[in-house]
Amino acid sequence: MTGPESPLGKLWLPRGVRSQDLSADVKNDLIHKIRREGPITFADFMHNSLYGKYGFYSTGKAASGTTYREGYHKGFLSNRTTPEQTPIFARIFAVQLPYIWDQIGRPERFDFVEMGAGTGGFAKELLAISKKDFPEFPGFAEVLRYTIVEISPALLKLQRRVLAGERVNFVLGSVVKLPLKDIQGVFFSNELVDSFPVHRVKLVNGKLREIFVGVRDGKLVEAEGDASTPHLSDYLEEGNIQLREGEEAWINLNALSWIRRVAAALKRGYVVTIDYGDSSEELYRQLTILYELFIDQSISSLVNPGMNDLTAPVDFSAIENEGRKFGLETQEFIDRSEYFANLGLYEMIEDQLKKLSPEPQVRSNTLRLIDQARNLLKMKGWKILIQRNFQPQTTE
């Protein structure tokens, strides 16, 4: 393997095999399947490209450092997500956990479930902060139980290595089929939902049509047909989304299945969802521009499936509405930078600047963290949705 060595070492790629070879395997498997069974939905194609045997996440390319995380994050992020770029992200959430534990009655076990944990960097930092003393909340560190639910065997292997010695429960499986129950605490995800496979639809002569993936001349190509499921038109109707003639959109049915599973598993506590997206009103207002970007990455993925990530902006309104049906109340929906500002990140920066050490290495590390904090406040487009299934106690 050329270029920087992967954090996974060379285990994610068989000896003597190039990532291009694996992409060819993905493509050949898809071509055989389509020739045998007919065109597949784009959601099926996306699932195979990301989570199939040689997919982007299955093989560990998502953590290799040698590929680029494509999608709407282009120009903002490398292939690593924000929590893996800076420890500040985890520290912000870590200091809030004892208060949440207190809010839900200080249960004997407080769960923090991270769904899709990347390289494990967020978990490592959060656990380190949580071990420190919280005078107002004695015993918190002892009751905290960290669980990671991860679909990628390669990433799970890396997470075990990064978190060696930590008290973490690792669960290999899809969060859309969440195998957990009776959780008291927090379900947390960052840049997870945008990687769920999506259906592509288009309004043609007043009728909803779906864009499939077919084969022509030995190549994967787009193919148009009738909608594969009535759930697609139900999604648009329930969200009061009206496509214009010729307009295309993506529909994330997996996001609805996921939030239903989370709601069923959460006995008491919060669901914190961080991702790139917006309300349905805002997303569909700028749909043409966003979909052109989506088409660009889609075409690239048809040529080299499994080589890059595939993402689509998240319709947070759909998650809110579905969660509400299953007992999740929306507490807050806010821009991520505004959320961090409300928690005092500007004040933290000013405080750190006043305390800069004269020692060169310490000073350099502090300035680096300050730059990271400033970048968090500048980055736009990411939202935080906070849902809960309990009524906090009030004091007179």
Please list the rounded mean pLDDT of every run of 10 residues in the chain (396 residues).
27 39 81 94 93 80 45 35 61 88 95 94 92 86 96 91 95 93 96 94 96 93 95 95 91 97 97 93 80 72 82 94 97 87 70 70 69 67 91 55
Q: What is the pLDDT of residue 134?
A: 83
Nearest alpha carbon to residue 201 among 183, 228, 176, 182: 228
Q: Are residues 53 and 178 in the same domain?
A: yes
Paired strand residues for 206:
none
For residue 390, tell me if it sits in a domain: no
For residue 86, tell me if it sits in a domain: yes
Q: Are residues 83 and 54 in the same domain?
A: yes
Q: Are residues 268 and 370 in the same domain?
A: no
CATH number at residue 332: 3.40.50.12710
Other CB atoms within a 10 A radius of the CB of residue 162 amount to 17
Q: Are residues 251 and 194 in the same domain?
A: yes
In whole angstroms, give the CA distance from residue 54 to residue 332: 38
For residue 227, tell me if it sits in a domain: no
3-class DSSP state of 298: helix
3-class DSSP state of 314: strand
Q: Are residues 302 and 340 in the same domain?
A: yes
For residue 186, tell me if it sits in a domain: yes
Q: What is the pLDDT of residue 164?
A: 95
Q: Are residues 333 and 349 in the same domain?
A: no
Six-digit token string for 123: 């978990």
For 32-83, the pLDDT digits (tens) are 999 999 999 999 999 998 888 888 887 766 555 433 333 333 322 233 455 4
Q: Are residues 331 and 362 in the same domain?
A: no
Q: Are residues 334 and 354 in the same domain?
A: no
For residue 25, tell me if it sits in a domain: yes
Residue that finishes a domain, picked among 321, 344, 367: 344
Measure CA of the first residue to CA of the last residue in the chain; give whole Å: 64
- Whole domain around residue 365: which residue ranges? 345-377
Q: What is the pLDDT of residue 133?
A: 74
Q: Are residues 314 and 328 in the same domain?
A: yes
Residues contacting residue 220 through CB under 8 Å, at least 6 positions apart: 27, 30, 31, 34, 45, 213, 214, 302, 303, 305
3-class DSSP state of 251: strand
Residues contacting residue 152 through CB under 8 Å, at least 6 positions apart: 51, 57, 58, 60, 62
For residue 109, tell me if it sits in a domain: yes
Measured CA to CA in angstroms, residue 71 lies from 76, 98, 195 at distances of: 10, 35, 10
Q: Are residues 354 and 340 in the same domain?
A: no
**Residue 55 DSSP code:** S
Measured CA to CA in angstroms, residue 55 lies from 24, 60, 114, 153, 154 at distances of: 11, 8, 22, 11, 11
CA atoms 211, 253, 83, 174: torsion sign = negative
Instruction: Record the pTM.
Output: 0.84
Q: Are residues 273 and 356 in the same domain?
A: no
Ramachandran assignment for 349, one of left (phi > 0), alpha (psi -120 to 50 degrees), beta (any other): alpha
Domain count, the chain: 2
Long-range contacts of 90-95 (CB under 8 A, 24+ apart): 90/121, 90/122, 90/123, 90/124, 90/125, 90/126, 90/129, 91/125, 91/126, 91/129, 92/340, 92/343, 92/345, 93/126, 93/188, 93/272, 94/125, 94/126, 94/129, 94/130, 95/129
Q: Are residues 186 and 159 in the same domain?
A: yes
Q: What is the pLDDT of residue 7?
A: 26
Q: What is the pLDDT of residue 59?
A: 74
For residue 6, tell me if it sits in a domain: no
Residues contacting residue 347 through CB under 8 Å, at least 6 positions apart: none
For residue 287, tell me if it sits in a domain: yes
In whole angstroms, give the CA distance from residue 87 to residue 114: 16
The upper half-sphere exposure of residue 42, i.e. CA atoms within 13 Å in the direction of its Cβ, equals: 32
